[in-house]
Structure 1
Amino acid sequence: MQEHYQGLGHIAVHTRDMDGSIAFYEKIGGSLFRRDAVSTPDGEKQLALVSFGGFLLELIQSPVPVPMGEGNIPHFAVYVDDVDAAAAAIQAAGVDTFLKPEKTVLPKTFGGLENRFFTGPSGEQIELLHML
């Protein structure tokens, strides 16, 4: 299963103010890499990738209020070479906590991506991510 891992994809952080968060990270040395949006049943979810400290932050502004408190990091992403193969290897190891039965393909988001989420033992979400 390790042969599929390619490194940390990003760390996702919820924000109430996308422009303010981007400005904050730019102020402390980050730079906007990409900005996008995804339609959801509740409205448009704003997304931004900010390069910061040698990795990417994915800022997420939900169209509906999201509880914020200590540790408002909803998931972390690991780049993989093949989402299906990596998921199969994880399932073969006895982990079957995937949130959906199949990967999601978003051909227009951030230039195209496919992903699949599963949960760890404390409820943390882990994203298997392949950029197209």
Structure 2
Amino acid sequence: MSVQVFTGFHHSAIRSPDLQRSVSFYEEIGFHQVHDWRLPSYGIDRAIMMQAPDRKSWIELFDLKAEIPMQGVGAQQGQKVSTGALAHLCLSVTDLDQACVRIVEAGARHLHGPEALTLGQPEVRVRNAIFEGPAGEIIELLQPVRFPGDQPA
């Protein structure tokens, strides 16, 4: 058996039409800026890494000029374009109702939920809600859930 080199989710990257609005939005829901940089050779005027409150994951924010590999746009001349690869970000929350109020106050647009769903066999009950963030990103909020195949922490 080979050694497991993949350890979990690190970050999602988002290009934003209003970088400061996106930074403020994620700060309002508990993320904090941990780094920013410029990389002119990739058209990056400003990029910002935002750490999640659990300190285990991040969201990376770019301005619209960033020339990076991304959903719907080829990174190099002749590269096949991939569309629809990023469905949504999913953020863990401890209290879904409170998080729904907070994310709307921060500037998200409510799309659906909260709702309780039963998934698969054996049945797993989840409670979630869906929003649109300031850059058009779809954000799912999910209360804690354990799946039958989860390994203990």
Please state which band the TM-score falls in when normalised by the shorter chain. 0.3 to 0.5
TM-score for both structures, normalised by structure 1: 0.43
- Bigger relative CO (Cα 8 Å, ≥ 6 apart): 1
TM-score for both structures, normalised by structure 2: 0.38
> Larger strand proportion, structure 1 or 2?
1
> Larger helix proportion, structure 1 or 2?
1
Higher Cα radius of gyration: 2
